[in-house]
Amino acid sequence: DAGVIQSPRHEVTEMGQEVTLRCKPISGHDYLFWYRQTMMRGLELLIYFNNNVPIDDSGMPEDRFSAKMPNASFSTLKIQPSEPRDSAVYFCASSLREADTQYFGPGTRLTVL
């Protein structure tokens, strides 16, 4: 398997623009996680899905953030409108079962000017 795939790898945008990050989990994995990593706050869980259903979105910072998982092989994290403080590396991870090892993608480095 190719592992978790994320796109784009780098995104530079201007404040106020919409940003969409994409993730393809490992085939057969039932859980999908979105994280944000910054120097100040470390690795933070934003939201996670089980069998395409959102389970916990308490880490989503505000209404500007939304995530969807329309099928087992694709998820998106959308920020609208984006702000400079959203600049971070966003990781997607997937796991086979609950409380199992999470496999991380390479991340998307987002810069909002």
Partner 1 sequence: EDQVTQSPEALRLQEGESSSLNCSYTVSGLRGLFWYRQDPGKGPEFLFTLYSAGEEKEKERLKATLTKKESFLHITAPKPEDSATYLCAVQVSGTNAGKSTFGDGTTLTVKP
Instruction: Compute the least distance from the CB of residue 65 to partner 1, in Å.
Output: 17
Nearest residue (CB) to partner 1, 35 versus 65: 35
Residue 99 has a CB neighbour count (10 Å cut-off) of 7
Rg of the Cα atoms in the chain: 13
Tokens of 81: 């409108």
Nearest residue (CB) to partner 1, 82 versus 102: 102
Whole-angstrom CA distances from 23 to 14, 16, 41, 80 are: 22, 23, 22, 18
Instruction: Compute the least distance from the CB of residue 5 to partner 1, in Å.
Output: 11
Instruction: Compute the least distance from the CB of residue 49 to partner 1, in Å.
Output: 9
- Triad 33, 38, 40: Cα angle to 5°: 130
Nearest residue (CB) to partner 1, 16 versus 28: 28
Chain residues binding partner 1 by CB under 8 A are: 4, 31, 33, 42-45, 48, 50, 55-56, 91, 93, 95, 98-99, 101-107
Nearest residue (CB) to partner 1, 71 versus 101: 101
* Of 87, 93, 91, the residue nearest 110 (C-alpha): 87
